[in-house]
Amino acid sequence: MFADSARVFIKSGNGGNGHVSFRRELYVPNGGPDGGDGGRGGDIIFVVDEGMNTLTNFRHVRKYVAKNGQEGGKRRCHGADADDLIVKVPPGTVIKDDASGKVIADMSGDNKREVILKGGRGGLGNMHFATSTMQVPKYAQPGKPGVELWVRLELKVIADVGLVGFPNVGKSTLLSHVSNARPKIANYHFTTLQPELGVVDMGGGNSFVIADIPGLIEGASMGVGLGHAFLRHIERTKVFIHVVDAASVEGRDPIEDIRTINKELEAYDPELLKRPQIIAANKIDAIWTDEETEDPLERLRREFEPEGIEVFPISAVTGKGLKELLSRVYALLQTVDQAPVIFEKEFNVEYPDDVSLPFTVTKESDTVYAVEGPRIEKMLGYTNLDSEKGFAFFQKFLKETGILTQLEKLGIQDGDTVRVYDLEFEYYK
């Protein structure tokens, strides 16, 4: 089964939580905090596997989740970092954000390895939060969460030259004759259901990659049949060869076929028609004419050569005319930009705020509750509690951070005292 598109779920690992602990040693009655940091969560990394040529594997496994980092330990022990999750894809795979369709990465050219999602950073242990006023911090930083994303994988084959044409015009036969490709060939419609690539050796160390792009029929640009699935494979192609049945063995009009395919190419992406085209008028060994029948080769030349599209009569079966065709194709390739067609990055993954400061809510006595931690200190640093507006912000902060919920779980009652460092407030619901 050939597959050139897949939708998969990916998630990077969570960072491990920082640890809360204190030194407990003989002759050290007041040991300081020694809680270690949490480990980093695993990344999601896509890597090109040259041995793959389809996305079939992603039809069976659609979920890729990296492991979480380990929690920090006592005695300043750092939690272990999680292993990264490696996802192998064939060369030419474009990774897109499924929701927006924007490109995250193009696994082509020199881009063989790409970190798509970074794992969450480990949280800091309580050893980092000791200050002159807070020598026994009872809190640690939680690990940063990983990121999850639905992505669309699209395989766009990497070829210099693309063979386009209606089914059964001889594209597969031509490809097998001029390259090292060995496609399955049979005399019925829609034989080729996946792109076939081959390398054409021009001698002297010169070569180019040629691909048989199947499935182009009228309505392909609108998704008819397998249109969209195959049209995406021509996006990297630099030169098009229109393969037509010049003998009209099955009653097809080669001029109409070329016009139809160019119409579909333009509808899919107008930029495609700016690329060089050549017509390979195939099956010339089967052409039959009389005094009343116009030579189909002359019809093709009269129609397309004024547009700068050359016509080369060939027989893919006998090999006649192939040398001239390939020489001209190679010459055309030298006139176009040699850089591979790479799709630019359009989508940046958004990560949660890097600073996830901790806080603690504790019950000190039957009627006194304490709220402390770096997050509280940071809030007090930019809030004027003496003003009505500032105190309203403080109340909103307690609610949105979940502090009020934690106080209620600990059993706080109306009139009880909430201590926030040197500040004390009476609680009323």
What is the reported pTM?
0.64
Residues in the chain: 429
Close Cβ partners of 314 (under 8 Å, ≥ 6 residues apart): 174, 280, 281, 282, 284, 320, 321, 322, 325
Q: How far apart are CA 348 and CA 397, in angstroms?
A: 30
Choose between 264 and 355: higher pLDDT.
264
Q: Is 80 exposed, middle or buried (0-12, 13-18, 19+ CB in 10 A)?
A: middle
In whole angstroms, what separates CA 255 from the centre of its chain?
A: 39
Q: How far apart are CA 332 and CA 209, in angstroms?
A: 14
Residue 1: which pLDDT band, with cuts at 50, 70 and 90? very low
In whole angstroms, what separates CA 422 from the centre of its chain?
A: 51
pLDDT tens-digit map of 72-122: 988 889 999 999 999 999 888 999 999 888 889 999 888 899 999 999 989
For residue 365, is pLDDT > 90?
no
Kindly state the average pLDDT of the residues 6-30.
83
pLDDT given for residue 340 in this prediction: 73
- Neighbouring CB atoms inside 10 A of 56's CB total 14
Q: Which range has the worst mean pLDDT, 56-70, 177-191, 303-317, 355-369?
A: 177-191
Taking a C-beta distance cutoff of 8 angstroms, is the pair 50, 91 a contact? yes
Q: How far apart are CA 10 and CA 155, in angstroms?
A: 18
| Nearest CA among 400, 317, 408 for reference residue 361 | 408
Place of tokens 């386009």: 164
Q: How far apart are CA 411 and CA 368, in angstroms?
A: 11
pLDDT given for residue 181 in this prediction: 56
Q: Which range has the worst mean pLDDT, 290-294, 308-312, 409-413?
A: 290-294
- Neighbouring CB atoms inside 10 A of 237's CB total 24
Per-residue exposure over 306-321, b if at least 16 CB sit within 10 Å of its own CB, e if not: eeebebbbbbbeeeeb
Q: How far apart are CA 346 and CA 326, in angstroms?
A: 37
Return the H-helix or E-strand segment holding 68.
none
**SS3 (DSSP) at 50:** coil
- Neighbouring CB atoms inside 10 A of 232's CB total 20
| Nearest CA among 369, 374, 381 for reference residue 420 | 369
Residue 276: which pLDDT band, with cuts at 50, 70 and 90? very high
The H-assigned helical ranges of 27-83 are none
Taking a C-beta distance cutoff of 8 angstroms, is the pair 34, 59 a contact? no
pLDDT given for residue 324 in this prediction: 92
pLDDT tens-digit map of 19-47: 888 877 666 556 678 889 999 999 999 99
Taking a C-beta distance cutoff of 8 angstroms, is the pair 198, 179 a contact? yes
Taking a C-beta distance cutoff of 8 angstroms, is the pair 125, 76 a contact? yes
Kindly state the average pLDDT of the residues 220-243.
69
Kindly state the average pLDDT of the residues 274-300.
82
- Neighbouring CB atoms inside 10 A of 24's CB total 11
Mean pLDDT of the chain: 82
pLDDT given for residue 86 in this prediction: 96
Highest mean pLDDT among 161-165, 209-213, 226-230, 345-349: 161-165
